[in-house]
């Protein structure tokens, strides 16, 4: 069974209903969100073994987060609990064209931002095939960045693969700050996951998608490089060979978390079979389903995904 352990912050996500503006809302939906826990949950739901590491304030908000993640079979026993700091929150107002979706973070000085990188028992990485994290964690604080760097070096030492999604968030840092911090980190990544927009705007690669993915592979030398293309599907490069998967036709309900769902599908199948084409197909199917489900969490089964993948292949 493929296994991953991810590391990052999760927050309570409050979203307005029926496209209401935050200013007018008198009710908000309360859910859990966080790129790395989204990934672990999606991975567990596919049948993988998943754990999630974080640091959380021990209060009802923190317990809400851990419980919602555990509910899907993710091991949260390595979470570091503290009585200090706070649980991050974030607010979403979904837009309808031409009004954009708005996100407001309220997460400064959260528990994980104050993590001491040495308080994580990194030895546990030995028990997993892959260590997964994203650029969001690196952006949170200098301590988080150090923790990611230590986690990656420990993973290397233990022969645990590292998968990493650039996951640029403009509310956390500038593209220049992100590039400066991430460029050295990405050189130590085995499975590199990046959107075409982050590749262009943060990692400053240009040209056709083929040229972009080759540049990324040469610069960072990952075992496998994955470039997601939004509504145009996704592509991967391994051993100089390019693989592509076409997107699904879909109606968007909530696109947040689709990238994490893609990553989980790709990494799960890549670890399971090593088949890049199949990994892309599962990633794309996961992303498509994620767009149709309110909230960040992938309430899906492997059977449902296999069915749409088969239907797509025969369409």
Contacts 24+ apart (CB under 8 A), 98-103: 102/22, 103/171
33 forms part of the interface with ligand KDG (CB under 6 A): yes
* Whole-angstrom distance, CA of residue 305 vs CA of residue 143: 38
Alpha-carbon torsion angle 296, 166, 245, 292, nearest 10: 10
Tokens (6 digits) for 261: 């769902």
138 forms part of the interface with ligand KDG (CB under 6 A): no
72 forms part of the interface with ligand KDG (CB under 6 A): no
Q: Are strands 102-106 and 89-93 parallel, antiparallel or unpaired?
A: antiparallel
Active site residue 260: yes
42 forms part of the interface with ligand KDG (CB under 6 A): no
Site for ligand KDG in 153-172 (CB under 6 A): 169
Q: Give the C-alpha distances (Å, rounded to integers) separating 260 from 37, 63, 159.
A: 9, 22, 24
Place of tokens 């991050």: 88
Q: Are strands 49-53 and 29-33 parallel, antiparallel or unpaired?
A: unpaired
Angle at 216 between CA 168 and CA 143, to 5 degrees: 40
Site for ligand KDG in 73-132 (CB under 6 A): none
Tokens (6 digits) for 94: 């979904």
Task: Provide, rounded to whole angstroms, the least separation between the CB of residue 207 and ligand KDG.
Answer: 27
Stretch that binds ligand KDG, among 27-35, 200-208, 236-244, 283-291 (CB under 6 A): 27-35
Nearer to ligand KDG, 33 or 212 (CB): 33
Please give the size of the binding site for ligand KDG, defined by CB under 6 A: 11
Q: Of 190, 260, 263, 296, which residue is the catalytic one?
A: 260
Nearer to ligand KDG, 138 or 256 (CB): 256
Q: Are strands 49-53 and 3-7 parallel, antiparallel or unpaired?
A: parallel
Q: Which of 34, 151, 233, 283 binds ligand KDG (CB under 6 A)?
A: 34
Task: Provide, rounded to whole angstroms, the least separation between the CB of residue 307 and ligand KDG.
Answer: 25
Task: Provide, rounded to whole angstroms, the least separation between the CB of residue 260 and ligand KDG.
Answer: 5
35 forms part of the interface with ligand KDG (CB under 6 A): yes
Kindly list the catalytic residues. Answer: 260
Residues that bind ligand KDG (CB under 6 A): 33-35, 38, 136, 169, 256-257, 259-260, 296
């Amino acid at each position: 069974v493929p296994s991953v352990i991810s590391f990052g912050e999760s927050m309570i996500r409050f979203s307005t209903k029926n496209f209401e503006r935050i200013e007018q809302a008198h009710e908000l939906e309360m859910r859990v969100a966080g790129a790395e826990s989204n990934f672990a949950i999606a991975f567990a739901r596919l049948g993988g073994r998943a754990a999630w590491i974080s640091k959380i304030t021990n209060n009802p908000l923190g317990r809400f987060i851990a419980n919602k993640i555990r509910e899907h079979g993710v091991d949260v026993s390595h979470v570091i609990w503290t009585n200090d700091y706070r649980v991050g929150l974030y607010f979403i107002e979904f837009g309808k064209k031409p009004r954009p979706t708005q996100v407001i973070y309220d997460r400064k000085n959260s528990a994980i931002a104050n993590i001491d990188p040495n308080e994580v028992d990194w030895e546990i990485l030995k028990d997993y095939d892959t260590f997964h994290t994203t650029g969001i964690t690196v952006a949170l604080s200098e301590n988080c960045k150090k923790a990611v760097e230590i986690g990656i070096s420990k993973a290397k030492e233990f022969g645990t693969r590292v998968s990493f999604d650039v996951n640029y968030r403009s509310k956390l840092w500038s593209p220049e700050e992100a590039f400066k911090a991430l460029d050295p980190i990405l050189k130590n990544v085995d499975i590199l996951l990046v959107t075409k927009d982050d590749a262009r705007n943060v990692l400053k690669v240009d040209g056709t998608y083929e040229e972009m993915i080759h540049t990324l592979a040469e610069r960072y030398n990952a075992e496998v490089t994955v470039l997601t293309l939004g509504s145009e599907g996704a592509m991967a490069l391994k051993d100089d060979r390019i693989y592509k998967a076409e997107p699904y036709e879909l109606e968007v309900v909530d696109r947040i978390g689709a990238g994490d769902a893609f990553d989980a599908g790709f990494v799960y199948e890549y670890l399971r079979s090593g088949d890049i084409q199949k990994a892309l197909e599962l990633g794309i199917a996961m992303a498509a389903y994620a767009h149709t489900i309110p909230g960040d969490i992938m309430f899906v089964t492997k059977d449902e995904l296999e069915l749409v993948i088969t239907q797509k292949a025969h369409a």
